[in-house]
A and B are shown apart, each in its own frame.
Chain A
Amino acid sequence: MEITALYYLVPSLIMFCCGLYGFLTRRNMIAMLISLELMLNGVDLNFVIFNRFLFPGQMEGMIFTLFGIALAAAETALAIAIIINIFRWVNNIDIRELNQMKF
């Protein structure tokens, strides 16, 4: 049996869909951020798989994933700073009750 590119792509697709489900259904802001990390990770995995299987010898996909990881780290740090600040102001991070800036 040969492990082809398709076999690698299926887990990353399922990871992305799990992230989508969590992002739509979760109420806690940190849980939404965790789902967002799952989605980003699935996309990163896709870049690497296409780079390795379809364009071997180049490294565009790998470099893009490196930058993606750095961006994800920056985004998470800033989002957690914002969430902790919100928690300090309203003592709650449930998105249903954070609707003062909604309209």
Chain B
Amino acid sequence: MDSVGSIILFVIVALSIVVFSILAVTTRKILRAATYLLFTLFATAVVYFMLDYQFLGAVQIAVYAGGIVVLFVFAILLTSHPGHNSEKLASKRRVLGLIASLAMLFIAGGSLLARCGALSVTKPDVATPDMNQIGTAMMGVGEGQYLLPFEAISVLLLACIIGGIVVARKR
């Protein structure tokens, strides 16, 4: 049984995820879309905190809300005029996109509801991984430990840095 406070918090977070993600793809001002994306990412971080993954919520806020959204805002200010409305969509294209996303929604939602029994589990009461366990899992080479992907992603980030400099530098 969940407390009333956690139910209210969940309703607020779920509603803000839904509303802000719809606004982020329908607003015609691109800077506002980035702001609504920021709110959606914050609400996702709150969901991570509610599921007791504190480290993941902190990473979400630091990387997404702190890094990626700032990159978006800089890129928007560099490539478009503030206050400029994007033009209205052609209705054919909008209808096609609406059909595709609604079909996705109904197919995935139908398969979710068909497995309603398997998914109506409440949150199991186990200790969530603490920082010590996460660090051991990232740095070990045993079973269920992830040193190789960790190193691969560091090489990927290095390649991304070099690629970003080479692509965006002035000639």
B89 engages A25 (CB within 8 Å): yes
A83 engages B93 (CB within 8 Å): no
Q: Interface SS of chain B: helix, strand, loop or mixed?
A: helix
Alpha-carbon separation in the docked complex, A73 to B34 (Å) = 15
B141 interface residue, CB < 8 Å from A? no
Closest B residue to A5 by beta carbon equals B119
B53 engages A7 (CB within 8 Å): no
**In the complex, chain B residues whose CB is within 8 Å of the CB of A4:** 119-122
A73 engages B24 (CB within 8 Å): no
B102 engages A11 (CB within 8 Å): no
A85 engages B75 (CB within 8 Å): no
A34 engages B24 (CB within 8 Å): yes
A82 engages B129 (CB within 8 Å): no
**In the complex, chain A residues whose CB is within 8 Å of the CB of B93:** 24-25
Q: Which one of B17, B48, B67, B146 contacts A63 once the chains associate, using CB atoms below 8 Å?
A: B146
Contact with A along B134-149 (1 / 0, CB 8 A): 1001100000101001
B132 interface residue, CB < 8 Å from A? no
Alpha-carbon separation in the docked complex, A48 to B47 (Å) = 10
A98 interface residue, CB < 8 Å from B? no
| A12-70 contacts to B (CB < 8 Å) | 12-22, 24-28, 30-31, 33-35, 37-38, 41, 44-45, 48-49, 52-54, 56-60, 62-63, 65-67, 69-70
Residues of B within 8 A of A (CB): 1-2, 6-7, 10, 13-14, 17-18, 21-22, 24-25, 30, 33-34, 37, 40-41, 44, 47-48, 51-53, 56, 59-60, 63-64, 67-68, 71-72, 74-76, 78-80, 86, 89, 93-94, 96-98, 100-102, 104-105, 108-109, 112, 116, 119-124, 126-127, 129, 133-134, 137-138, 144, 146, 149, 153, 156-157, 160, 163-164, 167-168
Residues of A within 8 A of B (CB): 1-22, 24-28, 30-31, 33-35, 37-38, 41, 44-45, 48-49, 52-54, 56-60, 62-63, 65-67, 69-74, 76-78, 80-85, 87, 93
